[in-house]
Amino acid sequence: MKMPILTVFVLALLLSNGATFAQNKTSDVPYMDDGHTRHLLDIYTPENPTDSKLPVMFWIHGGGWQVGDKSDVALKPQALTDRGFVFVSTNYRLLPEVEMDVLIQDVAKSLAWVHKHIADYGGDPNSVFVGGHSAGAQLAALICIDDRYLADEGVSFNVLKGCVPVDGDTYDIPKIIATAEHRQMLYGGKMFTFGHRQKFGNDPEKHVDFSAVTHVAPGKGIPPFLLLYFSGNPDTRAQAHRLESVLQDADIPAKAFGKSQTNHSQLNNDLGQRDDPATDELYQFLDRLTQ
């Protein structure tokens, strides 16, 4: 029996990108008792793991802290389970239903649940990588640098092996606010009614406190960083190099890598694709820290 031409094409495309289909998914796992409908995460595991303690990638979706879902993972679960990882994607409550500090606490509670329970899924609770795209990049960076959030959940930085923020523009929030508002002043247009200034609390002290760069210091156990960004976006490029510089000044391994000929969304969606330069950087980063 012949397969339809479209089916053959799709299968060939998936195989050319390295898909093996050897993956199990556990959906909508609650990470809080009697929690919100967004207090859920998905867990992807290799179908035939070669180890009982696999490294874990904990992923935080983007969406401007207002939208987005844990299902927005593209190729990453398949790509990383193929490389012997457990992949976890989490939801969290969103603005404006909750304020930013509560939103960040949700992410910390989710990661704490993973640390406590991921061994039941073959993951190593003491080998956790944290990544995220866009708004998720800011959350990933902050969770891995400002130790107060995980400490409140009883989780030490010792369990974190690396951080991979992807195309975030808010590692230094006062600078991105100043950049955006100066641009508005120069070129006109309506000022933001719910821009970064408002999302992060309208209080300059909060803008500083929610900035990952504020909390970088040597000796805290901050893990190594790989900062991926779209080189055609001056804001995410500048923010990636700003955080890279602050981390390196504190003797924390950090590398910012820019990919051209892409865009904000495609950079994230292409992670896991064969012959993708950002994926190559990701794999080198993970291999160096897991082998």
What would the pLDDT profile of 20-64 be if each residue is shown by its tens digit?
Answer: 456 899 999 999 999 999 999 999 999 987 778 999 999 999 999
Which comes out higher in pLDDT, residue 117 or 23? 117
Report the share of the chain in percent with pLDDT over 90: 85
pLDDT surpassing 90 at residue 16? no
Average pLDDT over residues 176-196: 87
Is the Cβ–Cβ distance between 141 and 239 less than 8 Å?
Answer: no
Question: Looking at residue 18, what is its pLDDT?
Answer: 43
282/119 Cα distance (integer angstroms)? 24
Question: Looking at residue 8, what is its pLDDT?
Answer: 37
Whole-model pTM? 0.92
Which residues, including other chains, have CB under 8 Å from residue 180's CB and lie 6 or more apart?
A: 192, 195, 196, 235
pLDDT surpassing 90 at residue 281? yes
Q: Which CATH architecture has domain 23-290?
A: 3-Layer(aba) Sandwich (3.40)
Question: Looking at residue 9, what is its pLDDT?
Answer: 45
User: 128-137, 139-148, 193-202, 216-225 — which is least confidently predicted?
Assistant: 193-202
Question: Looking at residue 62, what is its pLDDT?
Answer: 98
Residue 108: pLDDT band (50, 70, 90) is very high
145/163 Cα distance (integer angstroms)? 10
pLDDT surpassing 90 at residue 5? no
Amino acid identity of 117?
H
Is the Cβ–Cβ distance between 157 and 111 less than 8 Å?
Answer: no
Torsions phi, psi for 154 (to 5 deg)? 75, 25
Q: For residue 275, with 0-12 CB atoms within 10 Å meaning exposed, 13-18 middle and 19 or more buried, which class applies?
A: exposed
Average pLDDT over residues 163-191: 92
58/189 Cα distance (integer angstroms)? 39
Tell me the sheet residues that pair with 159.
none
Which comes out higher in pLDDT, residue 31 or 193? 31
C-alpha closest to that of 55 among 162, 138, 149, 137 = 162
